[in-house]
Chains A and B, each alone.
Chain A
Amino acid sequence: MSYVVEMLNIRKEFPGIVANDNITLALKKGEIHALLGENGAGKSTLMGVLFGMYQPERGIVKVNGKEVRIANPNVANRLGIGMVHQHFKLVENFTVTENIILGSEPLKGMVLDIDKAAKRIEELSKHYGLNVDPHAKIEDISVGMQQRVEILKMLYREADVLILDEPTAVLTPAEIDELMKIMRNLIKEGKSIIIITHKLKEIKAVADRCTVIRRGKGIGTVNVADASEASLAEMMVGRHVSFKVDKKESTPGEVVLKIDSLSVKNNRKVMGLKDFSLEVRAGEIVGVAGVEGNGQTELVEAITGLRKAESGTVLISGEEITNLPIRDRNEKGISHIPEDRHKRGLVLDYTLESNMVLQIYNKPPFSKYGLLNESAMKTYAQNILTNFDVRSGEGAASIARTLSGGNQQKAIIGRELELDPKLLIAVQPTRGLDVGSIEYIHKRIIEHRDKGNAVLLISLELDEVLQLSDRIAIVNNGELVGTVIASETNENEVGLMMAGVAKERSI
C-alpha cells in the first residue's frame, strides 16, 4: 500500500503541555482520512507539524515514502501539502483572485497578470464544482464560500494532500452537504484529504479511515465502515458517551423574559427582527430555530443590550429593561453565551483569570475601593476551569488565545453559568465542541433549568434545539413563524416552519 504522507511517532510540546505525544498517522493515496479527537486533543497541532508551522521535537514525516523536513509552510506547499485553517486567513477587502494569488503572484513581464490567474481559478472552480466567482470580494461572500476559496487556494497551488481543520464547524447543514460533495470530487481527481472533525456523523458519511487521538496520545486508526458512532465516540473520549439528552418534564414557573412586539434593525439598517413577541418562563428552555441570519442575532443583541431596539419592550421578571445599559441588565440576572467567542466572548490577550471575571471584576471579593484582588480572581477562575474541565497549558494564568477553540468555549460557558443567571441566553453553546463536552454542557444547561431558571437557546443545529428545548420558537425572515412543544414535534415540521410554511399549529 502506498502512503502519500506518513507521520511517525510525532512529539510536539508547548510550554507546560505535550500537545502531541508519540502520534502516528498514515494517509493513503486517494482516501479521506478523518482525524478525530476532543477539543485540545492536539489535532490542529499535529496538522500544524505536517504543514510546517511547528517543528516536532521528535518523530519523522515522510512524503511519498521519502523522509522530509518541513521547515515552514512554503516547504509544505512545494511538497504538495495544503491546509485550510480553522480560522480562515483571507484578506477581507481583496477579491477571491487576489487572495488566492497572494504570495505566488503570476507575472507578465514585470506586471501582475491577474486576468490569467482569474481564468485559471475559474477553470479550477468549474472542474471541482466549487462555484466560486473569482472577482467577488471576500467581505461580500458567505462563510461557506470563503471556505471554498481556501480550498481553491490549495488547488491553485497544486496541492495533492489537502488538510481541512474543522471545516464544518462554521457551516450550515446545507453547506456541509455541499462540502462533502466537493470532497468526493476531489478524491475522484486523485487528491488525498485529511479532515479534522469531531462530528461523528460526518466521519461516517465521508471518511474512509479515521485516526483517533486523545489528550495528545494516539489511540489508533480504524476503518470507518467497521466502526459505529458509539465506538468512535468511546475511543475519542475514553468512556461511554450517551447521545440522548436525559431530562425531566419541565415545570414552568412565572415569566422571566417577556418580549413584546420587538423590532430591531440589522447591520444593513433594515428591520432584521419584526414585531417579535415571546415569553420564557422559569424552569423551561425555549429554543429558537431558524436558518442563520433570520433575526436571531438581532433578537439576542436587543435582549442583552448590544443593539438598540427600534420599538417594543423587553421585560425581565416584570421589570422593563428595553433601554438599560448592558451592565445593569447583567446585574438583573441576564447571562449571555455569545455567538462569536473571539469577537465578544473573550479578551484573547487576557489571562483566563481575567477573562473569568470579565463582568464582575468590579465587585467584591474581586476588588475593593477600585483595587483588584488577584488571589480572589485566581481562586474563582481555577474553580470554573476545574468544574468545566478547561484544559490549558498554565491553568488560570494561561493567555486565552493559546487555548484550543473548544476549551475557550467551555471557559465562556463556565463563566456564564457560574454567575447563576435568572435568564441564560445560550447562542450556539456547543459549536465546535466534541461529543463528550457537548454531553456535559447539555447536562449543565438542563441542570440550570431545573434550578428554576429560564434558558433561551439559539442554535443552528436542529438536533440540539429539538433535544434540549421544552418549547421551540421558529423564526423566518425576522418574524416569529410559530411556537411548538418540543416533545410533540419533529425535525420535519420544524424544518418546514423554518422555511416559512406551516403556521397553523402554533400555540
Chain B
Amino acid sequence: MRNTIVSLISIILGLVAGGILMLFIGSNPIEGYSYLLQGALKNIERIGNTLATATPLIFTGLSVAFAFRTGLFNIGASGQMLVGGLAASAVGLTFDLSRPVLLLVMVLVGLIAGGLWAFVPGLLKAKFNVHEVVSTIMMNWIAYWTIYYVVPGYFKGEFLETESKKLAESATLRTPFLTDMFDGSYINLGLFLAVIAVIIIAFIIDKTTLGFELKAVGFNRFAAEYAGMKVNRNIILSMLISGALAGVGGVALYTGNASSIQIGILPAQGYDGIAVALLGANHPIGVFFAAVLFGILYSGTGFMNAMTDIPPELANTIIAIIIYFAATSVMIERLLNKFMKRRSNRKDKSGPVVEKGDS
C-alpha cells in the first residue's frame, strides 16, 4: 500500500517535471501529454503496440525483481534476453515442426538459455563470492559478442549482414487472431506469456516454500543459514529463475515484436528492467503496471514528436525522473510521514489539553 503510494507520487512528480521541461522548450505540456497519450492509446492498433512494447519490459522487470527478492542484483537481463532470443531464433530457423510444437520448443529453449546465462554468475557468487553485478555485466558482453559472430556466421539475413534471417510468420509469436483483433498491431502471444509469468512469479514469491526461502536468504542470509536453508543453492536457483524470465523476454522481443536479431545491440529493455522493478517495488503486480506505463511513454513519444516540437528523448527523460524519485523514495516517505503526522496532530488538538508545568 505504502509502496504503491510512493510509486504513484514518483510518477506524478516525473510527469510534472516533464511538463515543466516542455514549458521550457516553449511547448504546451497539456498538448504534449495529450499527444503522448493519443500516440499510445488512440486506437486499438496503438494500444496493441503499447502492450507489445511493454511485454519484454514485464519479463525483464520480473527478472530483476525476482533476483532482488533474494538479495541479488541481476544487471544481466540484456545478455540473458539476447541468448534467449538467439536460442529461440535458431530453433525457429532450423526446425520444421508443427506450429504449436515449434513455438513451445522455442519458448523453452529461450527460457533454458537465459537461465543458463544467469546460472553462471549465480554459481560464481555461491562458490567464489564473485559479485553478481560484475559477472552479470561480463555475461552481457559475452552474449553481445556471441551474437556478433553466431548470427552472421550461421543465420545471416538475406540482404543485411548485420541481422539474422527473418523468421517465417508461422515461426513467430505473432498470431492472426491477435493481429486482427488489434487492427494489424504487432502485439503477440508474448503478452500472454508475460501475464502468465507475472501470476506464476507472484505465486512463487508469496505462496510457496521456495519463495519463503528465497526471501529469507534475501533479507538475512545468516538467519537463513541458521535455520537450515541452503543459502548457496538458493542463490543459484534464484539467478536461474531470474535469467529464465529474461530469456523468455528475449523470445518475446526477437521472435514476437521483431522477427530477427540485429548484431551489435544490447537490448535496452534489460536495463529498463531495473527501473521497472524499482518502480514496481519488486512486486510482480507492480512490475506489470510499471512496464505498461513505460510502454505507454515509449510508444506514445513518436506521435507526440510528430505533432509538436517536443523531442522524442522526452520520454526517456520523464522515465529517468520518475526513477530518480522512486529511487529516493525515502524522501517521499518522509514527506508522507510528515503529512500524516500533521493530520494526527490536528486530531490531537481536539483532545484534552495538558496543563503546563506544575512540578
Contact = CB atoms under 8 A, between A and B. Distances in A.
Interface residues of B, number: 29
A350 B222 contact: no
A428 interface: no
Contacts of B359: 3, 6, 8, 24, 26
Interface string A420-454: 00000000000000000000000000000000000
A405 to B, nearest CB: 16
25 contacts: A8-B357, A9-B354, A24-B359, A55-B341, A55-B345, A60-B354, A60-B356, A60-B357, A67-B357, A306-B225, A326-B226, A327-B229, A329-B228, A336-B226, A338-B226, A343-B220, A345-B226, A347-B219, A347-B220, A347-B223, A358-B216, A361-B212, A362-B209, A372-B207, A372-B211
Nearest to A366: B209
A354 interface: yes
A348 B357 CA distance: 40
Nearest to B223: A347
B330 interface: no
B215 to A, nearest CB: 8
A346 interface: yes
Most chain A beta-carbon contacts within 10 A, residue among B224, B225, B228, B229: B228
Interface in B324-359: 341, 344-345, 348, 351, 354, 356-357, 359
Contacts of B229: 327
B216 A62 contact: no
Interface in B199-220: 207-213, 215-216, 219-220
Interface string A339-365: 000011111111000100011011000
B109 to A, nearest CB: 26
Contact of A361 (B209, B222, B225): B209
Interface of chain B, main secondary structure = helix
B230 interface: yes
A192 to B, nearest CB: 16
Given A60-B354, A60-B356, A326 B208 contact: no
B348 A58 contact: yes
Given A358-B216, A362-B209, 11 more contacts: A8-B357, A60-B354, A60-B357, A67-B357, A325-B230, A326-B226, A343-B220, A348-B220, A349-B219, A354-B212, A371-B209
Contacts of B224: 347
Given A24-B359, A325-B228, A358 B207 contact: no
A58 B341 contact: no
A367 B209 CA distance: 7
Contact of B227 (A62, A358, A370): A358
Given A60-B354, A372-B207, A372-B212, A306 B219 contact: no
List 8 tightest A-B contacts by C-beta distance, closest first.
A327-B228, A358-B227, A344-B226, A326-B228, A349-B219, A362-B209, A347-B220, A359-B227
Interface residues of A, number: 39
Contacts of B357: 6, 8, 60, 62, 67
Nearest to A358: B227
A269 B215 CA distance: 31
Contacts of A330: 228
A453 B222 CA distance: 27
Interface string B280-306: 000000000000000000000000000
A458 B71 CA distance: 32
Contacts of A57: 344-345, 348
Contact of A371 (B208, B228, B344): B208
A372 B209 contact: yes
Contacts of B225: 306, 326, 344
A55 B224 CA distance: 36
A350 B217 CA distance: 11
B209 A343 contact: no
Contacts of A354: 212, 216
A309 B228 CA distance: 17
Contacts of A344: 222-223, 225-226
A252 interface: no
A59 interface: yes
Contact of A343 (B223, B228, B344, B345): B223
Nearest to A336: B226
Most chain B beta-carbon contacts within 10 A, residue among A6, A26, A358: A358
A306 B228 CA distance: 9
A362 B216 CA distance: 13
A326 B222 CA distance: 12
Most chain A beta-carbon contacts within 10 A, residue among B211, B215, B222, B344: B222
